[in-house]
Structure 1
Amino acid sequence: MIPDVNADRLWQSIIDMAEIGPIPGNGNCRMALTPEDTAARALFLRWCQPLGLRHEQDAIGNMFLRRAGTDAAVPAVAFGSHLDTVPTGGRFDGTAGVLAGLEVLRALEDAGLRTKAPLELVNWMNEEGSRFHPAMMGSRVAAGALSLDAALAVTDNAGISVAHALAESGQAGPLSPMPRDWTAWLELHIEQGPVMEETSTDIGIVTGTMHARYFNLTIVGEPSHVGTTAIGRRRDSLAAAAAVILAVEQIALTAEPDGRASATWIENTPNARGNVAHITRLHCDVRHNEAARSVAMEASLRQALSEITARRQVHIDIDPYATFGPILFDAGLGALLRRKANDRQLTTRDMTAAAGHDSVFVAPLCPSAMLFVPSVAGITHNPAEYSTKEQVARGAQVMLDAVLDLAG
């Protein structure tokens, strides 16, 4: 008999985890390798201890919790997500996926069921990329898409390196990051959009992801006095950055509904009231369902930057520091999730993931799939982010049903 997840226990776990790194409005700030993230990891481990799981951790800080199967020679079925958040995050992004995975293991333990294949629950390090870039850092390194040395050398805005943060937080494990012995990977995530709610969909079957291209831009002008320097003589990096931001927005408007573009982070020097800014750094990205269209959006961005450079007499350095996707998830696993949802009389909808997820980097390594649960009003990366107890539990149940099918 297939066990049911405990919706109340799963919900309480989400509420309890949200007590770590709280911010106004019922949100969370647990950026990677901060004391808050470290405390969340410790709580997660305490919850795992009664289940007799084998805990392993690699040198980039990815956490692996394995439940033994009856046949040690069979590759594991893995699932999970991330516990780190953006600075103004909610209680569900990433966290729901990790804790739904924990509930899968708890439900099996309650039922006294042992699968043939081992099961592995994962908490990836620095999925959000809010403190250290690029995003999905832990899964990138584990998949070989980013070298460990390169990742360890990355610094945050305060100049603290990943290597230092790992050592200071005690999160650097002894394992060399590498692909694991997985026969399948599943990730539950909130939708982060309004489509499922608007269409009364219970479970989103994620068939693939957009193709995204990330850029760090450094705009260099000339320092001068705001009172004595005429507008026509200024080489104002901040004003040029404003033009860049509007250009990115126009590229986004042209690309909708299947494309996105955003400028999201800015740093200004000297950032003094009496000075015309002369060094401004900003981050932007372009993404689209079709890789060729994403490349075309980058070309539009570069053309806009060239025009702004000439018009405003500044220099713009372009660092295309990361990409992800497009990825097509395993059709067989998607069909399995769809079937398990239908068996529970739940409605489904095939969807494309517009955001980045660790599954993007796992997918080339083993058959992989994602399932979405609804986000109330489509709000995400916001303290008001919310999914109901029933919505999260439905997703966890579908994942449990699929895991039992896969693991035997």
Structure 2
Amino acid sequence: MVTVRSFLLTLNVIFLTQPYNFSESATAECTLTGNSLENLSSILTTCKEISIANLQVPANETLALHAQNDSIITFEGNITFGYNERTGFLMTIRGNNITVVGAPGHLLDGGGARWWDGLGGNGGKRKPYFVQLRLKNSLLIGLNVKNTPKHCFRIYYSEDVILTDITYNNLDGDTQGGHNTDAFGISNSKNITITNCIVFNQDDCIAIMSGSGHVITNNFCYGGHGISIGSVGGRDNNVVKNIFIKNNTVVNSENGIRIKTNYNTTGIVTNVTFDDITIENITDYGFLIRGDYLNSGPTGNPTRGFELSHLNFRNIHGTVQSGGTNVYVLLSNGVASNWTAEDIKIVGGLKKDVQCLGIPSDCGLSCKDHNGGPSQYLSLFLLSTLIFLIVLR
């Protein structure tokens, strides 16, 4: 039986091998352009093939693309957004069986530098999120997004959605005060697939706060805070389960992969797999699991009210800067159970006396095997060299 999810995956392959045909563009009556949203409501009501072309969204307005079922929305040219300090979203996309496509040469430009002050959502200027998605059985493909005020894609109450071949370029934020510029945040959703995406940002590349059935594959993350489960806890939904994260690369980031649960909260993280993850030049933590997370800073006292079970870590490899930590785990006793870890090869971090608490026994993971002093490979090389010299004598 072909499920909606398998159909979407097949559709994804078709899009990747046969680029979207833009020859049949929307009619003039179904195209929103210029510097006003006055015609948006009538377009959404009467059209199922919609073009958003060279649009300047006025300040203090939201581009609310709440389309009819089975609609196709195409972004063409430059889409920009007027500036004012506010909360909420610059854009929302909602519907069932919606396809959202980026035409060649288009750009969704959030103009984030006007809001950036180094504080993100922690103070300073009020900043809007970029886009909220509430979709079912839908596909977003080929979007180019640049410089959002803070978080980019906020995925809420969505189901069976694929986001593929998306580029999120927030590199300017590295030098101009970008903060909390998470690329993809998933909450209260089922079966979200994020694949073949490229991210340059200053916070989580992908953050899964709740939900189930998510698949994260073949993505490239540069800068930011890596790929995260969490933070989990203290929300209306505090369960993350059945997550598959495979063949992703994280470069020049604060963390490689991490699981973070909020201090003094409860929740469940279960049946999560990290497989074939490459990390390079990580500054702080290559592999991080902590139960003491707070946005203001970790407490050092992990929470007891969580279950972290059936976690699988395979083929996670790469490098951490010398001032960082290769592997760090801080959990209360009894929180973790049924873990497996195979082929974890993270080297470079030289911090010693690192926290390594709460790991299930005999799971194959140990901080001591990875942290402090030379890498295991260098140690083996030195040992073999010493043996060779002794034999020569």
Query: Aligning the two structures, in what range does the TM-score lie when normalised by the shorter sequence?
Result: under 0.3
Q: TM-score, normalised by structure 1?
A: 0.22
Q: Which has the higher contact order (CA 8 A, sep 6+)?
A: 1
Q: Give 1 or 2: higher helix fraction.
A: 1
Q: TM-score, normalised by structure 2?
A: 0.23
